[in-house]
Amino acid sequence: MEKTTTGTVAAGTDVGYDLDIVKMFFTATVVWALVGMLVGVIIALQLAWWPANLGLPWTTFGRLRPLHTNAVIFAFGGNVVFTGIYHSTQRLLRTRMFSDTLSRVHFWGWQSIIVLAAVTLPLGMTQSKEYAELIWPIDVLITVVWVVFGVNFFGTLARRKVQHLYVAIWFYMSFVITIAVLHIVNSLAVPATWFRSYPVYSGLTDALVQWWYGHNAVGFFLTTPFLGLMYYYLPRAAERPVYSYRLSIIHFWALVFLYIWAGPHHLLYSALPDWAQTLGMVFSVMLIAPSWGGMLNGLLTLRGAWDRVRTDPILKFMVVAVSFYGMSTFEGPMMSIRAVNGLAHYTNWVIGHVHSGALGWVGMISFGMLYWMVQNIWKRPLAHPTWASHHFWLATIGIVLYTVSMWAAGLMEGLQWRALNDAGQLANPIFVDITARLNPFLWIRLLGGAMYLTGAVMMAVNFWQTIRGPERPAAEPVPVAAD
Amino acid sequence: MSNDQSQSEKAYGRLHRRLFEGKAAIFAIATTVAISVGGVVEIIPMFSTSSLSWERAGWVTPYAPLEVAGRDIYIREGCYLCHSQMVRPMRAEMLRYGEWTRAAEYQYDRPFLLGSRRLGPDLQRVGQKYPDAWHYEHMRDPRATSPGSVMPTYPWLHRDKIDPADVTASMAALAKLGTPYTTTEEGAVTARLRSDGQMIVDNLAQAGITAAWDDEIVALIAYLQRLGVEGRQHLATQGGGQ
Amino acid sequence: MNPLLREAAASVQLGWVLGAMTVVFLAVFLGWVFWAYRPKHRAMMEEIGRMPFMDGGDA
């Protein structure tokens, strides 16, 4: 057989990929997606209707909100990325993963971290740093599991059977490396007890380190690995190569270089030195370029396939995902401009922005990938093809309700906080009154979130029945689910 | 797999190891450099000796033991998820909350608690704004003191007790990090907890409320009542501004 | 820190450091763009872009 630098494998050749680990991560993804989103709906209800806090320590908003963020980012987001990485990396490198044992240690280690988080956070054990709340013993466990993952991933790279590394692998690599650096630097702390520690940084330095972490957790946990997934699964689903491979490798380097600088935009108008705030703002605005490079590359990959986008739910999910990626990577830089930030900071606008990225980009690209995968890995047609379309519409309308209501609420509170009357005094001196006026928007947001969750439940049931259903005859081509 | 194929695979493997394994390593190094530059440029200057002075000032004192206990409760309950601690240098903010927050006021904050959301008002200058009894009632039933509030109730704070041994462990860890405490010995810490707590208990008694020095709510009140006070007093003597 | 080093560090102005860095990184980046878009690399780039389809059609 002739080898090329890009490693063509003849049809039917059994390279011996490890599919079981992919199925394990796939299953975990679906389970944690439901849990994380359900907690999100619960805390949305608590904000609209306070008695839903139940008056119990373990169920108040302050303890459940970190549970929601950790569950959707690290449990759902983490598992979905690992699903895609373990599946596509083996194929792109034409080799089995470096070690089946390490793969399984990674899987069970990661799931046990999630379970520990689900126990400790409602008990009030937290370090308070957003998206880095978990107490120090769990931080140590995360580090160990991440090293296991890193060794397994780079080990697979070292024994690859192809010369070239496809750009998706670049994005995965930046994910593995950067998350390790961010996690270790931000988690440095001195333990007081088994459940409590204090960070080595104090005050605004601690804030700067945390938002360097927090912003880049968004960048390197929720953006680069998902771009990697996009660069593999969008072409696979569309059955055509990426629009411009050259653009993909160029925007990769611009993205990873620029992203790291943007953290201080979370601290505008604080007492952090002006030069640091300005750097954060300028680099945030520059980020539009590489972000849109990725978006355009994704959308243009579908040129000439728009007729299929109308009928194939997988492509629909992916197109909407890439569009939301473009939208939120435009909105983010705008919100980093000092004057805009002065209005938006501390308001629901930020919550809306985060969710247009999380529900729109991360969620939708994941759904697209999962629908594609369940049919290709288990080799079965979808049990309910039309449900996939219903899921798509529930999710899309849900996101619109969510982001528009939060945008309106954020503008309203931002303006009312600062409004002055003719005498130069506060027009709304009682803070609670402003929050109370947000109530209708909070109910609309709850509705949007509930619709999104309903769609995810339909997906889970669909997957369950698909996997338990009869296998597709070998001769039959991979079906494109029609609505 | 045919024999031919595995032969060519082996030959390819050797060639590939010689030529291209290094490529992944170089790539990994390049990525590490690319993602490090921004962080190094922005964060390292914060630790240089001349830069540290911007967040150090003698007019701020470390948190007393009861305040440390209260701060840990504030963190445990996730108060920072709805309340910020950062008054921004804007006219409306200063009218609502007072002087904007200076860097030095955070110097003993481990972790920082600037918050990212204001579902409730900023708390950076809430100290001494309300009587102790107001806070006691507010955590029991937020709507009794702030009609229309969406804040949850925290009845367990009025039931549960702080543990002096636990507070001592926190003090010791903070001292290890450089917080200038004169003692972190458990007997001394307990005595200070008791005397500071008793002052709040006495204040509450004047409003007809019975509490004990080691109630969690007392520690939380101690923490809230010190927030921003030293800064406010210092900045008043400076005539405001910078 | 060595007093000489400290003096040297104090004399370096952040603006110059940032300015030099901007020039260096911009040059590296433009070099990268130039390399990627060289006509003679076109065929190779397109082949790499087809890698997701080369694993034998298996899922």
Task: Return the domain boundaries, chain A.
Answer: 19-467
Rounded to 10°, the helix B186-206/B164-176 angle is 120
Query: B92-147: per-residue pLDDT in tens?
Result: 999 999 999 999 999 999 999 999 999 999 999 999 999 999 999 999 999 999 99
Q: Is the domain covering B55-237 a CATH 3.40.50.620 domain?
A: no
Q: What is the mean pLDDT of residues A270-296?
A: 94
For residues A429 and B96, the answer to whether their CB atoms sit within 8 Å is yes
Rounded to 10°, the helix C42-49/A245-259 angle is 80
Identify the CA nearest to A13 among candidates A23, A30, A26, A1: A1
Q: Looking at the 3D structure of chain C, how many domains does it have?
A: 1
Class of domain A19-467: mainly alpha
For residues A129 and A64, the answer to whether their CB atoms sit within 8 Å is no
Question: How high is the pLDDT of residue A14?
Answer: 64
Say whether pLDDT at A2 is over 60.
no
Q: For an interface test with C, which of B31, B35, B41 has the most C Cβ atoms less than 10 Å from its Cβ?
A: B41
The model's confidence at residue B3, banded by pLDDT at 50, 70 and 90, is: very low
Residue of B nearest to C21 (CA): B37
Residue C57, in any domain of the structure: no
Is the Cβ pair A435, B111 closer than 8 Å? no
Rounded to the nearest angstrom, the minimum Cα separation between B152 and chain A is: 6
Looking at chain C, which runs of residues are DSSP E strands? Answer: none
Q: For an interface test with A, which of C26, C33, C48 has the most A Cβ atoms less than 10 Å from its Cβ?
A: C48
Residue of B nearest to A173 (CA): B28
Question: How high is the pLDDT of residue C41?
Answer: 86
Q: What angle do CA A112, A113, A115 make, to 5 degrees?
A: 60
Rounded to the nearest angstrom, the minimum Cα separation between C1 and chain A is: 21
Which domain, by its residues, includes C30? 3-52
From chain C residues 1-59, the ones with a CB under 8 A of any chain A CB are 14, 25, 29, 32-33, 36-37, 41, 44-59
Query: Would you call A125 an interface residue with chain B, using a CB distance cutoff of 8 Å?
Result: yes
User: Which comes out higher in pLDDT, residue B236 or B7?
Assistant: B236
Rounded to the nearest angstrom, the minimum Cα separation between A433 and chain B is: 7
Establish, for the pair of chains B and C, how many residue pairs have beta carbons separated by less than 8 Å: 8
Residue of B nearest to C28 (CA): B34
The model's confidence at residue B43, banded by pLDDT at 50, 70 and 90, is: confident
- Residue A168: list chain C partners with CB under 8 A: 52
Is the Cβ pair C56, A9 closer than 8 Å? yes
Q: What is the mean pLDDT of residues A310-330?
A: 96
Question: How high is the pLDDT of residue A482?
Answer: 40
Is the Cβ pair A198, B27 closer than 8 Å? no
The model's confidence at residue B18, banded by pLDDT at 50, 70 and 90, is: very low
For chain A, counts of helices (H) and of strands (E): 19, 2
Six-digit token string for A153? 């991933």
Establish, for the pair of chains A and C, how many residue pairs have beta carbons separated by less than 8 Å: 79
Is the Cβ pair B173, A342 closer than 8 Å? no
Identify the CA nearest to A456 among candidates A379, A338, A359: A359
Q: What is the mean pLDDT of residues B17-21?
A: 46
Is the Cβ pair A196, B113 closer than 8 Å? no
Residue of B nearest to C15 (CA): B41
In angstroms, rounded to a whole number, what is the distance separating the alpha carbons of residues A435 and A428?
11
Q: What is the mean pLDDT of residues B162-168?
A: 97
What's the pTM? 0.92
Say whether pLDDT at A481 is over 60.
no
Rounded to the nearest angstrom, the minimum Cα separation between A219 and chain B is: 11
Question: How high is the pLDDT of residue A471?
Answer: 80
Return the SS3 of A236. helix
Say whether pLDDT at B216 is over 50.
yes
For residues A244 and A332, the answer to whether their CB atoms sit within 8 Å is no
Question: How high is the pLDDT of residue B57?
Answer: 86
Question: How high is the pLDDT of residue B242?
Answer: 45
Taking residue A69's Cβ as centre, other Cβ atoms within 10 Å add up to 21
Identify the CA nearest to A324 among candidates A332, A312, A335, A336: A332
Q: What is the mean pLDDT of residues A342-368?
A: 97
Rounded to the nearest angstrom, the minimum Cα separation between C10 and chain B is: 10
In angstroms, rounded to a whole number, what is the distance separating the alpha carbons of residues B180 and B178?
6
- Residue A9: list chain C partners with CB under 8 A: 54-56
Which residues is A190 bridged to in the sheet? A198
The model's confidence at residue A197, banded by pLDDT at 50, 70 and 90, is: very high
Residue C58, in any domain of the structure: no
